[in-house]
Structure 1
């Protein structure tokens, strides 16, 4: 069911699956419970590339050959989803652990994969389809759901799928954001940071195309009931896209791997990853291309960084954000314009994922962030609406380095310091920041004078400097501010 040789393993690196996953995500977001959970808790609007990379990592863990890794990942996902519950805009309850909603997520992935092959002119044979369905059923069981949440046979599945599409899906806010806001306003991946002209050009062309392809691929009864637009030629464009993207699967083995593509998009030019040298060279060429495009295109963009600006000033600690920029890039993780508990929970979730924390350490980190949220709410929520606006934050201009934030830093140090020796070594540092530990060979600065180890006091000081002093930071920006 899992690992090499499975149906999932065969299509996971198929480039067409990127289109299928987008389609599945839209169908998930159209489910009232899932759509409400996404709107209230997800970072998919403000940090889509980070969300994409984490999703690929989770799927690879769940469908890999190592049963221990799968059980560990399933437990992590269940702890994450158990924290996502509330009520939607129509005062209907939602719960990310609802068995029917979880089954629908798996159903959309399976059906969109089958549709991927059909739209590419290569429909799956019945035996392959049944095998794939059995693997997704096993995936749902591995998450802890009872086997009966999905119909037992493939024949019964199609009746179940049609019923949910026709009776339960809605034109939700989350679905509309994915189709009409996310693609049109998609932030640049880290690889293309500092190249606004090139990114604006690609997004202006690609965003509407991806949106049109996705809408055209959705079930016709739902498109009609949700009032989604029927664009002239969209069906032809959709089928052409699936056929064209599918040609990439004929490239040499290993050229197109989902993890490698996701990692490359998340790679920053100043990273110490061996691939960063090539990325830096490519980045410089794209900057020159961007400068040329600014002369011949009307796109209004932010000015390109001056030569030599790049990440170096941040590494020297010489660049600061103003309050509103810090609020938008760091504090407002969900991108809804407000600071509330889901934003800080998203920080805890990202840190827990990076460090692959077990339950006790993960709970300690969430608890520390919850205490910080209560401290922030008490100090900044002047109108008593239970959240902090950008204006409230900027007007108060507080020093955020209170006791609760210090506690967050200390807990983060403890969970990063895996061996408990009260120092963070190079491997522990890399696990958190995905970059090498750049110690000061003179024994000063970040290394805390320990010859390369990161002391508790130095770690806490740097964390507080970033979170309260709004100081740009080479390690923390990719972790909490990057899209």
Structure 2
């Protein structure tokens, strides 16, 4: 199977550091699917080591996207991490992380987050570009080696799938509530940061985290999670997004180390070396 490459829009956007401005949109959305939220609740260190869990999850996903010749092998490793994540739901039904409905939902949230980030903080996408990104997402998903029977055939079908999931399938699972609740209670202190230092830096960090996290949620997520967000908040968020988009003229002039995460930079360097042969 041919993976993604430097000509893809996914390569251009998924490793862009502006993705951080979306906050934990994908992670919270994932955990709003009952089976996935239950799996995290039962098997993850998310509640004890929030930052560590996010870091461990993001790295392999990025390595799959930017893995080049190794992308399929990396995708299979990501899949295999989930082999033992299974158990029983509160209603007695069974769940497994590798159930195609569950696994595809997790993938779909990354696609949604990338599209949301680009259109909010970078630039509008044409319908042709959205279709192109969706086709690339199908290639990306197949790298995991999980059944694609639930994957929508095309962009229009994906839009219908996404609406149905938001309207009918997601819930305010305990794991998702925790994922947004910490920004109101305060971010947990990373173990490597001394307590006095954290007391000094956490108030502004909490304020930014609250604004970015809640602002980046889909309105349906805010509705289900009961997350406060006023019209004034929305206006501030729109002004913030417009200011970030205003940086597009100077963004390409910044060092690549500022613009892209390490996985993307390594992939770009690899392609430049190949081009110089």
TM-score norm. by structure 2 comes to 0.81
Task: State the secondary structure of the residue aligned to 2:255.
Answer: coil
**Can you list the C-alpha shifts for 1:113-135, whole angstroms capped at 9, x where unaligned?**
11112223621122221221112
Partner of residue 261, structure 2: 258
> Where does residue 111 of structure 1 map in the other structure?
112
SS at match of 1:82: coil
Give the equivalent residue in structure 2 for 1:451.
Answer: none
Q: How far 1:43 moved relative to its partner?
A: 1.9
Unmatched 5+ residue regions in structure 2?
Answer: 265-277
Task: Please state how far the C-alpha of 1:65 moved relative to its aligned partner.
Answer: 4.7
- The residue correspondences of 1:319-398 to structure 2 (distance < 5 A) are none
In the aligned structure 2, how far is the partner of 1:210 from the partner of 1:26? Answer: 14
Cα-Cα RMSD: 2.7
Offset at residue 139 of structure 1 (A): 1.5
The equivalent residue for 1:12 is: 14
Q: Could you tell me how far apart the structure 2 residues matched to 1:238 and 1:189 are?
A: 31
| In structure 2, distance between residues paired with 1:49 and 1:220 | 25
Mapped contact 2:39–2:97 kept (Cα < 8 A): yes
State the secondary structure of the residue aligned to 2:95. Answer: strand
More helix by share: 2
Residues 1:243 and 1:259: Cα distance change in structure 2 (over 3 Å):
farther
Where do 1:22-421 residues align within 5 Å? 22-67=24-69, 69-120=70-121, 122-181=123-182, 184-188=186-190, 190=192, 193-194=193-194, 196-244=195-243, 247=247, 249-250=251-252, 251-259=254-262
When residues 204 and 77 of structure 1 are mapped into structure 2, their CA distance, relative to the original with a 3 A threshold, is same
State how far apart, in whole Å, the 2-side matches of 1:118 and 1:66 are. 26
The answer to whether the Cα contact below 8 Å between 1:28 and 1:104 also exists between their aligned partners in 2 is: yes
Task: Give the length in aligned residue pairs.
Answer: 257
The TM-score with structure 1 as length reference comes to: 0.48
Structure 1 residue 100: Cα displacement: 0.7
Q: Which has the higher contact order (CA 8 A, sep 6+)?
A: 2
CA distance in 2, matches of 1:182, 1:95: 29
Tell me the distance in 2 between the aligned counterparts of 1:200 and 1:21: 22
Deviation at 1:186, TM superposition (A): 2.4
CA distance in 1 between partners of 2:172 and 2:38 (Å): 12
SS in structure 2 opposite 1:124? coil
Q: Is the 8 A contact 2:23 2:213 kept in 1?
A: no
CA–CA distance in structure 2, aligned partners of residues 189 and 241 of structure 1: 31
Counterpart Cα distance in 2 of 1:12 and 1:83: 28
1:375 match: none
Query: SS of the counterpart of 1:147?
Result: coil
In structure 2, the residue matched to 1:315 is none
Residues 32, 169 of structure 1: 8 Å contact kept = yes
CA contact (8 A) 1:4 1:65 kept: no
Q: 1:149/1:173 Cα in 2 relative to 1: closer, same or farther (>3 Å)? A: same
Over residues 264-301 of structure 1, what are the superposed CA-to-partner deviations in whole Å (9 max), with x where a residue is unaligned?
Answer: xxxxxxxxxxxxxxxxxxxxxxxxxxxxxxxxxxxxxx
Compare 234-243 and 134-143 and name the one that shifted more.
Answer: 234-243
CA distance in 1, matches of 2:220, 2:14: 28
